[in-house]
């Protein structure tokens, strides 16, 4: 019962966080830092509670590999966000810092493999739209641009997040 409660809470919190971040990305072109702080705090709180409840209930650490496995999952998931933050710095924010911070927080909810799947799935959704906008801009001389040539990425993350969480 406790495990189901935590899983439902984690799923709901992550979907709310993702939807709110995607909305802000579309509307403002950036995400307020409070969204990341609140989303990360809730994710860490829920995951910690889930692990403690599993440990108290069974007397053994969840995830057969123990604490090392859990830390590998969290550090691996954080690596996706760190990678995007590095790309943001290198490209002078052609890739927004908000995308990197989003994936840092997403790792708190999803772990490494689901975070990587979330990122690559969103890239596959974003690619055709970007290609059409680029071709349109070339052919029409800038008529296909979006908000000064910037395409928000997090709206492409939202449908993949739904797929990841319900798959």
Q: Determine the Cα–Cα distance for residues 59 and 134; give it in Å rounded to an integer.
A: 56
- Per-residue tokens: 165: 């969480």
Mean pLDDT of the chain: 85
For residue 138, the tally of other CB atoms under 10 A from its CB is 10
Checking if the pLDDT of 63 tops 70, the result is no
Q: Determine the Cα–Cα distance for residues 54 and 62; give it in Å rounded to an integer.
A: 6
DSSP label of 65:
T
The winner for highest mean pLDDT among 30-34, 49-53, 60-64 is 30-34
Return the ∠ at Cα 122 (arms to 77 and 71), rounded to 5°. Answer: 5
The three-class DSSP label of residue 64 is coil
Q: What is the pLDDT of residue 124?
A: 96
Checking if the pLDDT of 96 tops 80, the result is yes
More confident residue, 27 or 140: 27
| Domains held by the chain: number | 1
User: For residue range 128-140, what is the model confidence (pLDDT) as tens digits?
Assistant: 999 988 888 888 8
Segment holding 78, helix H or strand E: helix 67-90
Predicted TM-score (pTM) of this structure: 0.85
Q: Which domain holds residue 37?
A: 2-166
Please report which confidence band the pLDDT of residue 166 belongs to, taking 50, 70 and 90 as the band edges: confident
Percent of the chain with pLDDT over 90: 48
Q: Determine the Cα–Cα distance for residues 105 and 59; give it in Å rounded to an integer.
A: 29
Q: What is the pLDDT of residue 66?
A: 54
For residue 31, the tally of other CB atoms under 10 A from its CB is 23
- Phi, psi (deg, nearest 5) at residue 28: -110, -15
């Amino acid at each position: 019962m406790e495990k189901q409660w935590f899983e439902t809470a984690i799923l709901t919190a992550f979907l709310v966080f993702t939807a709110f971040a995607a909305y802000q990305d579309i509307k403002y072109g950036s995400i307020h830092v409070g969204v990341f702080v609140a989303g990360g705090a809730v994710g860490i709180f829920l995951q910690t509670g889930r692990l403690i409840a599993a440990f108290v209930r069974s007397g053994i650490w969840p995830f057969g590999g123990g604490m090392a496995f859990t830390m590998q999952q969290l550090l691996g998931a954080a690596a996706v966000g760190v990678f995007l933050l590095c790309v943001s710095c290198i490209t002078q924010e052609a890739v927004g810092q908000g995308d990197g911070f989003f994936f840092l927080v997403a790792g708190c909810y999803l772990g490494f493999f689901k975070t990587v799947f979330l990122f690559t799935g969103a890239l596959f959704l974003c690619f055709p739209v970007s290609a059409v906008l680029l071709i349109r801009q070339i052919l029409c001389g800038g008529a296909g641009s979006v908000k000064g040539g910037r395409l928000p990425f997090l709206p492409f993350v939202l449908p993949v997040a739904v797929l990841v969480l319900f798959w």
